[in-house]
């Protein structure tokens, strides 16, 4: 699948050139110093502070006139990875004699010494020393040196001497946890950039592969294992293909591996500023980047990649997408099946309006079911999710991958069953925690989703019908029967809520409904209602028609269904009580 990505990337690269990668490259936070190389001296320029403020999405230093130059020079001077440094002690993080990168904490700890500087520049004067014990790498460098020439020993020694005399006298605050980067430039900009490209290549080509010991020569062309998101060493034997003669996962030639390196640099630049959702359109041949909770509107088919900035760019999710639809068809309507008090409705920002796209629906599910903890934790390590509610956290972990696959990739398979499962558990948990208004929103969303995903479902109609029938029956002095099992279970929910209201305590725990929700049969419900009745009947008013009607008919009805209708029971429980409802309110409802 990476090859499919590279095919699209190669076309974009052909259209825009290296600027596609360079313009998106973000230098690491730190202090940047430009030193101009004169004929007989060096001139230190003003420092540039580069810092990416992730919280506010602001790149400090980007407006500086020298930023674009530094961006390019930094790119050609970076290490492939920290395990492939020029400095064997890994204190110097640049790759050529024109640049010198160190962490300020290494300066504070006095790890950079004149000997360290000598070691760095002596290696760059004669790269064969670095590759002396690596026959295949030495051979690669030999052919490269023929192509690009040998290092400029005279210039290297000039820079080396200047660094030893001036580096430790630089006025730098070493307390910050970022970089000090020094760039030596010529007076001609074109000459500077060209020299940086050459010296960057001098380092890159021998180090581009994961390990040159794995390289093979096929018809005079070198193939090797790429280094991006790949590790092949004795500590990771599981990456080898044990059942093949060639154990390495796959090989690329030099042209392919350089293209892949640029592609991962491109991804890294985007990930560095928060663009972690990547949509690669294999039909239109274009690449789109979005931030963590953003979804792409104009996309149908292609590849989705979820990336993260680490020591290298990390691919956390990779999938083929076919027939993705951002806009909902039909549109989704959150229905007020349980009436929400006006005061509370004004506080509900998600709104009971029509939702036309997946972004709006995601926001609704996140706020109502997960308390705004879903979108920010799709890929968070479980131990790092700051949720104290165990039930909420469990259901988030249970559902987040499949919800992400639906909302960001269009994979709707099994989503109805998943939402039914987790929403019921979350509703029970909300009741347990006494969040009465929240559970109303949750029940409304659950029922609305059931209707949305099931064309033959008519939860809204059923709820209205059950409530209206029960309201009429409770005021009926003649004999009557429940019109349906739906009305019966709605009445059970109303009765449980009534019993709880009669508990002689300031605290009336709504969680007392949970034993009824967990009941496996109507017989268990009846038994628990009888026990509950014995505890609270002392508080009943005498000759209350509605109460008498409700208790008598609930206890006397035997549903045919074996399973308990939890949805209707919960709705009856959460809805406003018909027992306490005044006559004029009933007339208003009609």
Rounded to the nearest integer, the mean pLDDT of the chain is 91
**Residue 410 in contact with residue 325, Cβ under 8 Å?**
yes
Give the span between the Cα atoms of 348 and 341, in whole angstroms: 11
* One domain for residues 374 and 481: no
Give the span between the Cα atoms of 84 and 236, in whole angstroms: 18
Q: Collapsing DSSP states into helix, strand and coil, what is residue 278?
A: strand
Please enumerate, as own/partner, the contacts of 479-483 that have beta carbons within 8 Å and a separation of 24 or more. Answer: 480/549, 480/553, 481/553, 481/557, 482/553, 482/557
Tokens coding 187:
């007076």
| Beta strand 30-37 pairing with 42-53 | antiparallel
Q: Collapsing DSSP states into helix, strand and coil, what is residue 419?
A: helix
* One domain for residues 345 and 485: no
Indicate whether 242 pLDDT > 70.
no
* One domain for residues 556 and 437: no
- Closest to 195 in 3D by CA, of 207, 185, 210, 182: 185
Size (the chain), residues:
590
Q: For the segment 466-491, what is each residue's pLDDT rounded down to a tens digit?
A: 999 999 999 999 999 999 999 999 99
Q: Mean of the pLDDT values across residues 160-166?
A: 97
Confidence of residue 580 (pLDDT cuts 50, 70, 90): confident
**pLDDT in the model for residue 392:** 97
* One domain for residues 445 and 497: no
Confidence of residue 343 (pLDDT cuts 50, 70, 90): confident
Of the ranges 206-215, 366-375, 533-542, which is most confident?
366-375
Q: Mean of the pLDDT values across residues 431-438?
A: 88
- Closest to 96 in 3D by CA, of 225, 179, 205: 205
Range of the domain at 516: 463-589
Indicate whether 588 pLDDT > 60.
no
**pLDDT in the model for residue 411:** 94
**Residue 431 in contact with residue 424, Cβ under 8 Å?**
no
Tokens coding 392:
């909420």
**pLDDT in the model for residue 113:** 96
Q: Mean of the pLDDT values across residues 377-381?
A: 94
Q: What percent of the chain has pLDDT over 70?
A: 95
Confidence of residue 504 (pLDDT cuts 50, 70, 90): confident
Q: Mean of the pLDDT values across residues 446-456?
A: 92
Give the span between the Cα atoms of 183 and 476, in whole angstroms: 91
Q: For the segment 6-24, what is each residue's pLDDT rounded down to a tens digit?
A: 999 999 999 999 999 999 9
* One domain for residues 449 and 513: no
Q: How far is CA 520 from the centre of its chain?
A: 39
- Closest to 433 in 3D by CA, of 398, 389, 367: 389
**pLDDT in the model for residue 312:** 87
Q: For the chain, how far is it from start to end, CA to CA, in angstroms?
A: 60
In the sheet with 99-103, reading across from the earlier edge strand, the strands are 58-60, 42-53, 30-37, 179-185, 99-103
Confidence of residue 239 (pLDDT cuts 50, 70, 90): low
Tokens coding 182:
């020094």
Tokens 């290696």 identify what position? 123
* One domain for residues 213 and 92: yes
* One domain for residues 395 and 503: no
Indicate whether 413 pLDDT > 70.
yes
**Residue 28 in contact with residue 52, Cβ under 8 Å?**
no
Angle between helices 390-409 and 415-432 (to 10 degrees): 150
Indicate whether 450 pLDDT > 90.
yes
In the sheet with 286-291, reading across from the earlier edge strand, the strands are 286-291, 275-281, 302-309, 313-321
* One domain for residues 443 and 575: no
Confidence of residue 248 (pLDDT cuts 50, 70, 90): low
HSE-up (13 A, CA, CB side) for residue 352: 19
**pLDDT in the model for residue 256:** 92
Tokens coding 537:
């009947």
Q: Mean of the pLDDT values across residues 221-249?
A: 68
Q: Is residue 53 part of a domain?
A: yes
**Residue 448 in contact with residue 333, Cβ under 8 Å?**
yes
- Closest to 554 in 3D by CA, of 572, 576, 574: 572
Number of domains in the chain: 3
Q: Is residue 75 part of a domain?
A: yes
Name the residue with higher pLDDT: 239 or 560.
560
Q: Mean of the pLDDT values across residues 268-288?
A: 94
Q: Using the 3D structure, point to which of 400, 424, 453 is the last residue of a domain.
A: 453
Q: Collapsing DSSP states into helix, strand and coil, what is residue 233?
A: coil
Q: Using the 3D structure, point to which of 394, 426, 453 is the last residue of a domain.
A: 453
Q: Is residue 458 part of a domain?
A: no
Indicate whether 32 pLDDT > 80.
yes
Q: Is residue 268 part of a domain?
A: no
* One domain for residues 534 and 426: no
Q: Using the 3D structure, point to which of 399, 433, 453 is the last residue of a domain.
A: 453
**Residue 51 in contact with residue 32, Cβ under 8 Å?**
no
Tokens 């939402």 identify what position? 419
Give the span between the Cα atoms of 195 and 18, in whole angstroms: 16
Is the C-alpha dihedral spanning 379, 380, 385, 390 positive or negative?
Answer: positive
**Residue 211 in contact with residue 217, Cβ under 8 Å?**
no
| pTM, to two decimals | 0.84
Give the span between the Cα atoms of 274 and 313, in whole angstroms: 12
- Closest to 111 in 3D by CA, of 135, 134, 93: 93
Angle between helices 436-453 and 566-574 (to 10 degrees): 140
Give the span between the Cα atoms of 24 and 7, in whole angstroms: 19
Q: Is residue 280 part of a domain?
A: no
Indicate whether 56 pLDDT > 70.
yes
- Closest to 532 in 3D by CA, of 520, 514, 549: 514
Name the residue with higher pLDDT: 197 or 513.
197
Q: Is residue 4 part of a domain?
A: no
Indicate whether 149 pLDDT > 70.
yes
Tokens coding 461:
């109609």
Q: Residue 266: how many CB atoms within 10 A of its CB?
A: 23
* One domain for residues 29 and 175: yes
* One domain for residues 209 and 354: no
Indicate whether 432 pLDDT > 80.
yes
Tokens coding 306:
């979820």
Q: Collapsing DSSP states into helix, strand and coil, what is residue 466?
A: helix
Tokens coding 247:
């154990």
Lowest mean pLDDT of 298-302, 433-437, 556-560, name the range: 433-437
- Closest to 270 in 3D by CA, of 452, 43, 104, 26: 26
* One domain for residues 73 and 213: yes
Q: Is residue 373 part of a domain?
A: yes
Q: Is residue 580 part of a domain?
A: yes
**pLDDT in the model for residue 590:** 47
Query: Which residues fall within 8 angstroms of residue 152, CB to CB, at 6 or more apart?
Result: 97
Confidence of residue 27 (pLDDT cuts 50, 70, 90): very high
């Amino acid at each position: 699948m990476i090859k499919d990505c590279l095919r699209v990337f190669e076309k974009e690269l052909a259209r825009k050139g290296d600027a596609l990668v360079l313009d998106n490259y973000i230098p690491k936070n730190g202090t940047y110093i430009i030193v101009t190389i004169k004929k007989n001296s060096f001139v230190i320029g003003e420092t540039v502070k580069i810092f990416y403020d992730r919280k506010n999405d602001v790149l400090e230093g980007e407006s500086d006139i020298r930023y674009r130059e530094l961006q390019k020079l930094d790119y050609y001077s970076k290490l492939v990875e920290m395990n492939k440094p020029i400095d064997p002690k890994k204190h110097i993080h640049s790759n050529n004699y024109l640049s010198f990168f160190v962490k300020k904490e290494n300066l504070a700890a006095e790890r950079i010494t004149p000997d360290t500087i000598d070691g760095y520049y002596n290696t760059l004067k004669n790269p064969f020393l670095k590759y002396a014990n690596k026959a295949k790498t030495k051979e690669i460098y030999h052919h490269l040196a023929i192509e690009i020439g040998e290092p400029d020993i005279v210039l290297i020694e000039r820079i080396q001497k200047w660094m030893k005399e001036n580096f430790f006298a630089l006025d730098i605050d070493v307390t910050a946890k970022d970089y000090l980067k020094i760039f030596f430039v010529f007076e001609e900009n074109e000459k500077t950039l060209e020299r940086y490209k050459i010296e960057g290549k001098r380092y890159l080509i021998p180090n581009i592969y994961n390990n040159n010991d794995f390289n093979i020569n096929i018809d005079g062309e070198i193939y090797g294992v790429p280094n991006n998101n790949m590790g092949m060493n004795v500590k990771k034997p599981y990456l080898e293909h044990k059942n093949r003669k060639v154990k390495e996962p796959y090989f690329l030639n030099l042209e392919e591996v350089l293209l892949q390196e640029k592609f991962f640099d491109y991804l890294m630049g985007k990930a560095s500023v928060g663009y972690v959702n990547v949509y690669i359109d294999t039909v239109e041949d274009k690449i789109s980047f979005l931030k963590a909770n953003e979804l792409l509107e104009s996309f149908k088919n292609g590849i989705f990649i979820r990336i993260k900035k680490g020591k290298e760019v990390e691919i956390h999710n990779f999938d083929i997408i076919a027939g993705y639809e951002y806009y909902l068809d039909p549109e989704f309507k959150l229905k007020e099946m349980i009436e929400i008090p006006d005061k509370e409705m004004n506080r509900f920002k998600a709104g009971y309006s029509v939702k036309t796209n997946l972004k709006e629906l995601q926001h609704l599910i996140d706020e109502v079911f997960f308390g705004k903890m879903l979108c920010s934790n799709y890929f968070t390590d479980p131990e790092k999710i700051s949720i104290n509610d165990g039930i909420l956290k469990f259901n988030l972990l249970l559902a987040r991958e499949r919800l992400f696959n639906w909302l960001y990739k269009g994979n709707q398979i099994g989503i109805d069953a998943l939402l039914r499962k987790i929403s019921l558990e979350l509703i029970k948990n909300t009741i347990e925690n006494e969040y009465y208004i929240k559970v109303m929103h949750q029940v409304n969303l659950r029922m609305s989703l059931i209707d949305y995903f099931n064309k033959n479902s008519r939860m809204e109609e059923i709820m209205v019908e059950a409530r209206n029938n029960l309201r009429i029956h409770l005021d009926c002095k003649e004999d009557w029967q429940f019109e349906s099992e739906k009305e019966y279970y709605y009445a059970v929910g109303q009765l449980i809520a009534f019993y709880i209201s009669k508990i002689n305590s300031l605290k009336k725990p709504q969680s007392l409904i949970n034993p009824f929700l967990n009941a496996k049969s109507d017989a268990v419900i009846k038994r628990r209602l009888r026990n509950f009745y014995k505890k609270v009947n002392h508080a009943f008013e005498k000759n209350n028609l509605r109460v008498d009607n409700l208790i008598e008919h609930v206890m006397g009805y035997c549903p045919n269904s074996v399973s308990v209708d939890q949805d209707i029971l919960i709705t009856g429980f959460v809805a406003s009580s018909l027992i306490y409802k005044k006559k004029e309110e009933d007339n208003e409802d009609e």
